Every structure is written in C-alpha cells, then in structure tokens.
Amino acid sequence: MSFWDLRSDTVTKPSAGMRRAMAEAEVGDDVYGEDPSVRALEERTADLLGKERALFVPSGTMANQIALLLHTRPGDEVIVGERAHCVWYESGAGAAWSGVQFAVAGRGGLFTAEEMRAAIKPRSAYLPNTSLVALENTHNRAGGRIVRLDETRRIAALARERGLALHLDGARLWNASVATDVAMRDYAAPFDTVSVCFSKGLGAPVGSALAGSAELITRAHRYRKMLGGGMRQSGVLAKAALYALDHHVQRLSEDHAAARTVAEIVSRARDARVDVSGVDTNIVNIGLVNERAGEVVELARSRGVLVNAIGPDLLRAVTHLDVSRHAEAAAHTLAEAIDETTTL
C-alpha cells in the first residue's frame, strides 16, 4: 500500500535530480577541511544568513546543542517559548551537555518582548543566571507559526540591553522567509547564531547548519568534533543541500497553500478544531473534541493517509514536496476518519 505521508516534512526522499547531483559531487575529507562541496554549502549558507561563517552539521539537534554550548555555562537558564524544540524534542540534551535549565516565556510557543522581560531572572547569587534567549521560527509545536520580524527585533533589543546572547532555531526559517517575503538574512540579523535545516521542507536527506561570527563558528567546529559530528566525504550530503537551495526554496509556497487547503477541509469535520487563519506555513495542528487522536491516526493509516498524534486530542499534518499535490484528497480522507472516529 502506498501512503500520503503528512507526518512531517522530514519524510521527503531525494528526487532523481538531487540524487544525480549527489552522485556527481566533488568530495574530500571534511575533517581535514578538504571537501569542496561542504565548503561551498557553508559559504552559501553564511551568505544567505548574512553571517561570517556557517558549519555543516548532521542534524538540527546538533546545531542547537552546539549553540547552547557556545552561549551558556552549567547552571545557566535559557529563555524559550512554550514547547520549544530544544526542550521537547532533543532528548534532554541541553541538561546533559550544557547543564542548562529552561524558563518559558509567554504561552503557546511565541512570546513578546514584554513576556520575555518577565522571564529574565534578576542577577543574584541565589538565582540561575539567565544567559541566552532561544527563539524558534517557525515554531514547530505551535503549528508552524511565524515570529514576525518586528517582534523579533523588539525581543533582540531587550536581550542586548540585558546582556543576553541570542540564538535562532531556524529549522524552518525558509518557510517563514518565503511566506512573508522577508529575506533570511533579515530574520537572522539580530542573532548571534542561527541554525537551519536542509532536511525538512527543502527535501535534502541529511543536514543542518549553524551560522554566526567567525569566532563563534571556530569554537562551534571544535564542539562538532567533540559531539561526534565530524564527517568525512560529506560533500555527497552537502551537494543535496545545495541542490535543494537551487530548486526547493521558492516552491515552499506550494506547501503553504496546500496546508491552508488541508486546514479548511479538515475544519469542516464536526469534531475537529482547526485555527484556519493561524496556518502561517506548512504545519496544521488539528484539535479534537475528545482524546481519540490515536484512533484517528490508525483509521486514516488504514486508508492510506499518515498523520502524527502529538497529544491525546491533537493531530499534526505537515505538507511538503512529496505530498502537497495530494493534499486535498488526503485532507478529505482525514476529515472522514475524524468524523467516523470521534462522533459518539
């Protein structure tokens, strides 16, 4: 049975063109600094983000963890939005490697500068030292929500005033950039470090990057090796990411349109609660009136549509380059599965 897979944009498989580019990649040993494809990707990513340097890493988790290592000391506190990726989906790595704890600003994922102000602890020997603000744009758990540029700038201005470092988890910053027609470098400008993923909506099989000043990325390079992220002929992977930058960025708008279609169709299911106007990019959170998310997932799967249950009463559907053209049909199947499962 073949599936329409709306679980995540990480499930995309390299296209024929991408595989050809990978097969033809010029490579060398990147731990010796000799891989021309990796160097090309790092330079291009740094340029896109308006930073001095970028470092190719195996995953977004590693990029975020290196950022925590760069900006904090054990016992520090990091301000995040509710349900941040680095708190929920990184296996507790921030506590394990950097020894930090997290303070949540605001509700629902996004936060304002004022909400951040309330989360900053006063300097005191008794209190954790707030040293970093980590923003997520787009915000994954909040349903692909975009943090607006003006709010980003207000948050950054306050962080600077209070002497805090700034990291942007921009795993899906491409989506925010395309949806708002704001350049990646404009979103990235207020931050010391920015992580981006090539393996989500861009459709590359592996890889993320961390960008920042030359000084920070020199230190990041050492942490990458320490964490086991030094790779050898990684140019085959870098080439896939370069191909994605050439071919898969502007088309993200198709995924955003497909996500709105999914939201509209599924919102008509009687027991579904979807904030259609809150669908900023390619992620749709679907609330259910009762705790039957697991049952809906099973019924939809039996009819060829895959979605994730991210809570007992919450489903998530994500559009991407391998599924967006089927989004309408998949959404009808999903809406039927919701109606048949949740109605008492």
Helix (H) or strand (E) holding 222: helix 214-226
CB-nearer residue toward ligand PLP: 64 or 319: 64
Token pair listed for 271: 């027991």
Using CB positions, name the residue nearest to ligand PLP: 60
CB-nearer residue toward ligand PLP: 141 or 221: 141
CB of 121 to ligand PLP, least distance (A): 25
CB of 62 to ligand PLP, least distance (A): 7
Q: 10 Å Cβ neighbour count for 10?
A: 15
Place of tokens 């395309």: 178
Token pair listed for 181: 């027609």
CB of 8 to ligand PLP, least distance (A): 8
Beta carbons of 317 and 299 less than 8 angstroms apart: no
Q: Determine how β-strand 314-318 pairs with β-strand 53-57.
A: unpaired
CB of 171 to ligand PLP, least distance (A): 3
Residues lying near ligand PLP in the complex (CB under 6 A): 59-61, 64, 85, 136, 140, 169, 171, 197, 199-200, 208
CB-nearer residue toward ligand PLP: 194 or 323: 194
CB-nearer residue toward ligand PLP: 72 or 199: 199
- Helix spans in 162-199 (H): 173-180, 184-188
CB-nearer residue toward ligand PLP: 201 or 235: 201
Which residues is 197 bridged to in the sheet?
208
Those residues whose C-beta lies under 8 Å from the C-beta of residue 162, and which sit 6 or more positions away, are: 120, 130
Which residues is 211 bridged to in the sheet?
54, 194
CB of 57 to ligand PLP, least distance (A): 9
